[in-house]
Chains A and B, each alone.
Chain A
Amino acid sequence: MTDHQIMSDVRNGYVEKLAILFERHYVSLFNYFLRLTGNREVSEDLVQDVFTRILKYRATYQGEDRYIVWMFKIARNAHIDALRRRKEALPLDEQLAEPADAEPLPEDRLEREQDSALVSKALGLLPPRKQEILVLSRFQHMKYREIAELLDCPVGTVKAMIHRAVAELGEIYAALTREKCHDM
């Protein structure tokens, strides 16, 4: 059964079926918000918010959009509203920090985790719009056409922004690496 068929059923009153859509997408939505906010707690609240909104606005689901695009429109609105509500999100370092009582990590894992912390930090330093486009394309595997539909802009703009976003991310990452070497 496709997401679209299930969502149509939810709209038509079989709200229990939302459980199927939740099971299919909650991890993906959580990761989307986590990349954007850097905060696990906030991200979980936002996932909950998305499904609450889906129920609330289920009557407006037309199915002209692909379900995924519709769901991410709701996700973006939830995120924007949350940003408005709380001006300052927790700094990225906080959620990436090792728990105090963690076992010492083996050498290679330590290196890998430091690397992913650095990539994540670099991502957090990108301007919001570029960050968002990159997350949608790289982690949500959305097609440029779908992103264009979601952001309501031409496909050409999305592609140009992807190129600039990745190039910029590379520079930020290189700068962070230099900084880190400097520290040692």
Chain B
Amino acid sequence: MTCDDARAHLPDFLTGELSAKAKSSVDAHLAACGACAEEFHKVSETWMKLGVLPVEQPSAALRDRFYTMLEAYKEGLDARTADRKAEKAFSIREFFSWKRPAFRFAAAAALLFVGLAGGLFVGRSGAFNEKFARLERQVDDMRQTTALSLLRQPSSSERLLGVSYSEQMRAPGEQTLTALFRILDTDPSVNVRLAVVDALFLFAKDNRVKDGLVASLGRQESPLVQVALIDLLTEAREQKAVDALKALIADDKIHPDVREKAKQGVKNLTS
């Protein structure tokens, strides 16, 4: 390898995209050539140095301005509808005023609904109810599709967003429930699993949900998730949970706090 060849690889060397084969040729050249070794060293040092620059956060006003602009654009699109008063009750900006990322994501989902439903709060014609029901179904379908795709993402914040989409359905479909239960049992992030417990709480009247939760209790290893599940099942007064709780109590590997919680649960459910 010539000096020019070696230096042509420098940019990929910096971003770590050098193939193993190229890297070993470059390493061999650097071991033999002082001039190139120095150049690589100097340039890498500057490259690393750039890492001291922190990621800066913009002011809150930026988000505020964006949502104002988006709202105004929406209104422009819907300009044909005469009276906007009723819609004003839903200030999109207020939805987004919280800092919590999970809430922001949930709010993004809410925004979809507000946007679509917006036109309906004006001029209630005879067809209103039918139109509203159709729209609700459309939004539910959209949430279902979005939720399913988000629940499969590698990043835990995207999966959290997926959970919050699911939460806003009136009745989750078979596929969404399967995905939620898979996450409840296997997700590497405890936060995501806890979010699923919260989401399923809303659908706890559904027998499929109840059975799934009882079954999952025996599979959980995180005490936090176990406690959340026990709370949920006790609150839902799910009698089928009694056996699963007794099994937990008998398990000697279980965290003492969880065992205590399970005992209380059994007491509540059987009293």
Binding site for B on A (CB under 8 A): 1, 5, 14-20, 22-23, 26-27, 30-31, 34-35, 40, 43-44, 47-48, 51-52, 55, 112, 115-116, 119-120, 123, 134, 137-139, 143-144, 158-160, 162-163, 166-167, 169-170, 173
In the complex, are the beta carbons of A51 and B66 less than 8 A apart? Answer: yes
> Chain B: interface residue count, which band?
35 or more
Contact A23 B108 (CB under 8 A): yes
- Within the complex, the shortest CB–CB distance from B37 to chain A, in Å, comes to 15
Contact yes or no, B49 A173, CB < 8 A: yes
Please, which residues of chain B bring their CB within 8 A of the CB of A123? 50, 53
From A5, A20, A35, A163, B53 is in contact (CB under 8 Å) with A35
Q: Chain A contacts of B252 at CB under 8 A?
A: none
Q: Does B224 interact with chain A (Cβ within 8 Å)?
A: no
Name which residue of chain B comes closest to A20, CB basis. B108
A27-B58, A51-B69, A119-B53 given; A166·B63 CB < 8 A: no
CB atoms of B59 and A44 under 8 A apart:
yes
Of the candidates A17, A22, A170, the one whose C-beta lies within 8 Å of that of B66 is A22
- Whether B29 sits at the interface, judged by CB under 8 Å, is no
Does the CB pair B66–A26 fall under 8 Å? yes
- Stretch binding the partner chain, chosen from B4-12, B205-213, B232-240, B253-261: B4-12
A116 touches B47 (CB 8 A): no
Residue numbers in B under 8 Å from A134 (CB-CB): 50
Rounded to whole angstroms, the CA-CA distance of A26 and B64 in the bound complex is 12
Other than the given A1-B146, A31-B55, A139-B50, 9 more pairs (CB < 8 A) read: A15-B73, A27-B57, A30-B57, A40-B58, A119-B50, A119-B52, A138-B50, A163-B7, A163-B43
